[in-house]
Amino acid sequence: MPTHFSELNIKLQGPNKTFIIMMGLIRAFEAKLYVFRNDIMTKNKYFPNLKKNIKDLDAQEKRNEEKVIDDFISVMDFLIKEFSARFSQFKELSETFKFIMYPDVISFDKLNLSEFDWLELKNLKCN
């Protein structure tokens, strides 16, 4: 899992990364966390590293495979919760940032302008 976080971190860095692009990367990663959690729960083991880790359990751990799987699920639940909390403010502002980039697509009424009071965007609505 740390490798996947590192890959996301690298993708989020660098020039020419708009908020919309970064939010797309974050949403895709969050969706992958849910898919991975579902894969663990259903025991499909589509993910190669998960399959290998379960296969490599020693005899003692094999007897407790359900507990190991429950532990994996607990870790995934924690990651999903933490990831969601970390980016919650960005999600709240996503419509607003879409409006900045694509003003003709997003309705002004859907915007969360609380963070932009200092810009006096109310004038934008009237102009």
Give kind and range of the element (H or E) at residue 36.
Answer: helix 19-42
Calpha distance 107→96 (Å, rounded): 10
pTM of the full predicted structure?
A: 0.66
Six token digits for residue 67: 């507990």
Q: Coil, strand, or helix at residue 28?
A: helix
Six token digits for residue 118: 């200092």
pLDDT tens, residue order, the chain (127 aa):
678 888 988 998 988 888 778 888 988 999 999 988 888 888 776 677 777 777 777 666 667 777 877 888 899 899 999 988 988 877 777 777 777 777 777 777 766 666 666 666 555 555 5
Q: Residue 105: phi, psi to the nearest 5?
A: -100, -35
CA-angle at 80, arms to 35 and 23, nearest 5°: 85
Q: CB neighbours of 30 closer than 8 A, spacing ≥ 6?
A: 80, 83, 84, 87
Calpha distance 95→111 (Å, rounded): 6
